[in-house]
Structure formats: C-alpha cells, structure tokens
Amino acid sequence: MRCPVCVSEGKTSQAYLISRWSTLLHAVETYDEEGKRVPNQKMNWTTTQYRCSNGHLWEEKERSS
C-alpha cells in the first residue's frame, strides 16, 4: 500500500491502516417469470481508511456481493 498523494509528489512514506468497516446487506436470490436467476443488485461495500507517515489521509472502497 502506498499513499497516493506521496506517490504523486514523488515522496516516500509508510502507510498505516486506521479503520475498516463493511455494509452487511443480505443477498436475496430472485428469479424472473421464466425461472432464470436475476443477478443480485444489492452489493456490500468494504471501506478501509489509511494514514501515511506524512499525515495524508485516504480511503479505498471495494464492492462485493
């Protein structure tokens, strides 16, 4: 993991994970009128926050079903 601000400024730093949390939406299987499975529209997100040794803060989000 590298700080995106430090990378853009040509600096080096250490990155520290500050927090991580996820949504917990229940996936429900749905089928259309012809019995075909409809893809799950509810997606969960995991958000991770970081801080670098130069004081920059950023977060990354990842989707999962």
The total number of structural domains that make up the chain? 1
Query: Residue 49: is its pLDDT beyond 90?
Result: yes
Residue 31 lies in a domain: no
Mean pLDDT of 57-65: 89
Provide the CB-side half-sphere exposure for 35 (13 A, CA). 0
Residue 65's pLDDT band (cuts 50, 70, 90): low
Residue 36 lies in a domain: no
| pLDDT in the model for residue 25 | 76
Q: What is the pLDDT of residues 3-42, one digit of tens each?
A: 999 999 999 999 999 999 998 877 677 888 999 988 776 6
Strands, DSSP E only, in the chain?
15-22, 30-31, 37-38, 44-52, 57-64
Residue 32 lies in a domain: no
Question: At which residue do the structure tokens 């995991």 appear?
Answer: 46
Q: What token pair was written down for 44?
A: 């969960």
Entry pTM: 0.71
Residue-number span of the structural domain to which 19 is assigned: 1-24+43-65
Residue 60 lies in a domain: yes
Residue 20 lies in a domain: yes
| pLDDT in the model for residue 41 | 66
